Chain A
Amino acid sequence: MPFNAIPAEDYFNRENELHYLKGLSELKKNALGGDVFLEGARGMGKTELLKQLHRLLFWEDEVVPFYYSFKTANLKGAYFAKDYFAGFVRQYLSFAKKEPSLAQSAAEPFERLMPAISALGLYWLIDCIEDFQTHVNRNDFYWQIVAAISAPVIAAKKTGKPVLLMLDDFDAAGSLYESSFGDTAGLISLFRESMQNSLCPHVMTGSAGALEAIFTDHSLIGMTEQMRLGPLPEDVAAELFGAHLANLKITPPSAGETRFLALLKGNPLYIRNLAKAAWKMQKKELRERDLIECYSYEVSGGETAFYWSSVLSRYTQTPTQRRAMLKILMHSVENGVCEEINRLSILSGVGATETAAIMAAMNASGIVRDREAVLQDVIRCLYMKEIEGRDAVYAKEKIEAKYLSEKEESCFELVIPMSSNAELVVAKAVEQIGKNSNLDAEFLNYLQLALIEVCINAIEHSGSYEKKVFLKFITRPDTLEIVVENSGKPFSPETRKEIPVEEKLRMGIKRGWGFKLVYAIMDNVKVERVNDRTRVIMTKNIKDKEVRE
């Protein structure tokens, strides 16, 4: 329902977008603008922007607002038509009488609305209702949908007052069907006439991936412009968080302790959920540690976790598909997106066809595109819970530990090609990273050597088609951790035979010194296989003598 928008004073930084959308009917009338596809990552506030726009238009009386959410709609054509039509009639009446409650009385049959409609002299609306009922009585599927979609156009034509249609999650309209899912393609194109009407601008939301698939109809593409709803700037995000906390009577963190908020990337949904998590956890005041705790709660079992879990459910039909999707998502979190269906099929545990369908659904949902830290943490938690069988408390503790330990660390990532002398680039990188941490030059030489050996091993023996080595350097006050990853053949140091040097020299064995050096130099070396990648995690403790004064 469009009337549950947050108070205007708590709505931040979208003035320009609101102003533009508010003036859309004037632009369309003068052929200066058309319809708008409002695009943005999930949680960025697209629905909220529509609700704010609805409120503005509702009380200004110049343009009739009509909001419809496909997210919760029944996509069986006949049900959709009734819902869409009834929604429009109620919202129109609510607008005309300036009674928001009328729009919310979904159970009210049309007959009971008739006196109010007559009293307002909206005889054309009575005709509309009667026409629609005739199509329903005749069980005429096609004309029911056309009549429903055309109702706003008729209203605009009859009254001369523009109707601005706000179609939330419009991409779902691409799945409208007659009697069983997928039986009737292209019903979405019935919106064409409505979209072409100069008195009916449309503002639609949905994922960009789905948009590309839907707008294959060139007549729809030509008149639709894209508006991207970006993240809130850092200062506005902090201000919004502060406003939410103030409403919940929680003392906000000091300016120096809000760095963690950057992780939310200015996403209004995440910001609101984090504030609510603080309230649920009965925090009276927040410090950075509390923020981490509340965040960990949010991504493991809070509203953010629930939100993303619901999104996943929308795109999977069975528990097996959901598990497969989670495995693929976890793989993309850990290793980046992989497009190779056969490899993903092995990983997901379902056949190639089903894996391809899951990948298509993921692309349509925009989940893969949204490579942001919060989503990645939610995926980690879902994976722990649904694949590893852990509980939410365990997942929360894991996330919390991760961020608490990262507080004092800095992290560098590097990707090198598997080509000659590429390992020297890595050696240079570790030299500079070491210098940044004031590490002794000789100490760094050993680290360089160990790293070179691991890279050479990957380059020489992996047989990777990807031909890349991924490196991550994590520096902490007392340790340096280096993670080296590559796809290709598995490697296990356990398989290498420890032959005494004398024996080696006598037998003329000249190779096989690399990992001996690595083990001798580093304090801890762990080699693991993660999906199709070999990951070497090396840790070196930093003692006082190894730090330059």
Chain B
Amino acid sequence: MKQAQFSVASKLVGDAAVIYPKGYLNNLSGESLVKECGIYIRRGITKIVVNFSETDLINSIGISMLLQIMEDLRNIKGTICCTNMSKFLHDTFEMLGLIQHMTVFPAESDAIDYLKVRTT
């Protein structure tokens, strides 16, 4: 576990926003993630990809923040995809019984391809 200082980066790919949370996803960093997604949602973006390739650790509060984003998107009939999850992260969501409620892809490009053909 590297536990880098948390930061969140993002970019727009077509009509989807790709978010890159980096480091330890807890309450504070989770709020940054919610905020970052909120910016795109307010701009009318309804497709979000969260790329977890640089997220080393998540705690239950971080998970609740992610659920917040899922709920926000569901309210506007949007879609969220999670990609590049480590086995540890994947197992964590599975332990909680959340994985079946998430759309998960191994790679970011798979999620982008999926969202291209999906109309919201």
A interface list, Cβ under 8 A from B: 420-421, 423-424, 427-428, 431, 442, 444-446, 448-449, 452-453, 456, 501-502, 505, 508, 510-514, 516-517, 520-521
A196 and B97 CA atoms in complex are apart in Å by: 81
A501 lies within 8 A of B64 (CB) = no
A412 and B81 CA atoms in complex are apart in Å by: 42
Closest A residue to B6 using CB positions: A421
B88 lies within 8 A of A446 (CB) = yes
B63 lies within 8 A of A448 (CB) = no
Per a CB cutoff under 8 Å, which of A445, A501, A502, A513 touches B60?
Answer: A513
B118 within 8 A of A: no
B1 within 8 A of A: yes
B109 within 8 A of A: no
B42 within 8 A of A: no
Closest B residue to A501 using CB positions: B97
A424 and B26 CA atoms in complex are apart in Å by: 11
Among A431, A446, A449, A517, max chain B CB count under 10 A is at A449
A513 lies within 8 A of B28 (CB) = no
When distances are taken between beta carbons in the complex, the residues of chain A under 8 Å from B71 are: 505, 508, 510
Q: A448-B57, A511-B60, A511-B64 are in contact. Are A431 and B96 (CB under 8 A)?
A: no
A424 lies within 8 A of B60 (CB) = no
A517 lies within 8 A of B95 (CB) = yes
Q: A505-B67, A510-B64 are in contact. Are A452 and B59 (CB under 8 A)?
A: yes
8 more CB-based (< 8 A) A-B contacts, given A505-B71, A508-B71, A516-B96: A421-B26, A449-B59, A452-B57, A453-B59, A501-B97, A512-B60, A513-B64, A520-B96
B64 lies within 8 A of A445 (CB) = no
Q: A501-B98, A517-B96 are in contact. Are A453 and B60 (CB under 8 A)?
A: yes
B1 lies within 8 A of A517 (CB) = no
Binary interface encoding of chain B residues 93-120 relative to chain A, with 1 for a CB under 8 A from any of its CBs, else 0: 0011110010000000000000000000
B24 within 8 A of A: yes
Closest A residue to B68 using CB positions: A510
A456 and B63 CA atoms in complex are apart in Å by: 13
B interface list, Cβ under 8 A from A: 1, 3, 24, 26, 28, 57, 59-61, 63-65, 67-68, 71, 87-88, 91-92, 95-98, 101
Per a CB cutoff under 8 Å, which of B26, B60, B65, B67 touches A517?
Answer: B60
When distances are taken between beta carbons in the complex, the residues of chain B under 8 Å from A520 are: 95-96
When distances are taken between beta carbons in the complex, the residues of chain A under 8 Å from B57 are: 427, 445, 448-449, 452
A169 and B26 CA atoms in complex are apart in Å by: 58
B24 lies within 8 A of A424 (CB) = yes
* Minimal beta-carbon separation of B2 from chain A (angstroms): 11
A516 and B94 CA atoms in complex are apart in Å by: 12
A514 lies within 8 A of B60 (CB) = yes
* Minimal beta-carbon separation of B56 from chain A (angstroms): 9
A505 lies within 8 A of B63 (CB) = no
A15 and B21 CA atoms in complex are apart in Å by: 68
When distances are taken between beta carbons in the complex, the residues of chain B under 8 Å from A445 are: 1, 57, 88
Closest A residue to B95 using CB positions: A520
- CB-based A-B contact count at 8 angstroms: 64
Would you mind naming 9 contact pairs between A and B with Cβ atoms under 8 Å apart?
A442-B88, A448-B1, A453-B60, A501-B101, A505-B71, A505-B101, A508-B71, A513-B96, A520-B95
Closest B residue to A520 using CB positions: B95
Closest B residue to A511 using CB positions: B64
A427 lies within 8 A of B67 (CB) = no
Closest B residue to A521 using CB positions: B95
* Minimal beta-carbon separation of B80 from chain A (angstroms): 13
A456 and B25 CA atoms in complex are apart in Å by: 13
When distances are taken between beta carbons in the complex, the residues of chain A under 8 Å from B59 are: 423, 449, 452-453, 456, 514
* Minimal beta-carbon separation of B30 from chain A (angstroms): 10
A444 and B64 CA atoms in complex are apart in Å by: 23
* Minimal beta-carbon separation of B27 from chain A (angstroms): 9
When distances are taken between beta carbons in the complex, the residues of chain B under 8 Å from A501 are: 96-98, 101
* Minimal beta-carbon separation of A419 from chain B (angstroms): 12
Among A452, A453, A502, max chain B CB count under 10 A is at A452
* Minimal beta-carbon separation of B52 from chain A (angstroms): 14
When distances are taken between beta carbons in the complex, the residues of chain B under 8 Å from A421 are: 24, 26
A424 and B5 CA atoms in complex are apart in Å by: 11
A452 and B3 CA atoms in complex are apart in Å by: 13
When distances are taken between beta carbons in the complex, the residues of chain A under 8 Å from B88 are: 442, 445-446
Lowest 9 CB-CB distances: which A-B pairs, in order? A510-B64, A513-B60, A514-B60, A501-B97, A520-B95, A510-B67, A445-B88, A511-B64, A452-B59
Closest B residue to A452 using CB positions: B59
A511 and B27 CA atoms in complex are apart in Å by: 11
* Minimal beta-carbon separation of B10 from chain A (angstroms): 22
Closest A residue to B94 using CB positions: A520
Q: A510-B68, A516-B96 are in contact. Are A442 and B60 (CB under 8 A)?
A: no
When distances are taken between beta carbons in the complex, the residues of chain A under 8 Å from B24 are: 421, 424
When distances are taken between beta carbons in the complex, the residues of chain A under 8 Å from B68 are: 510
When distances are taken between beta carbons in the complex, the residues of chain B under 8 Å from A456 are: 59-61
A448 and B3 CA atoms in complex are apart in Å by: 12
A510 and B28 CA atoms in complex are apart in Å by: 16
Closest A residue to B61 using CB positions: A456
A448 and B2 CA atoms in complex are apart in Å by: 12
A512 and B60 CA atoms in complex are apart in Å by: 8
A424 and B71 CA atoms in complex are apart in Å by: 28
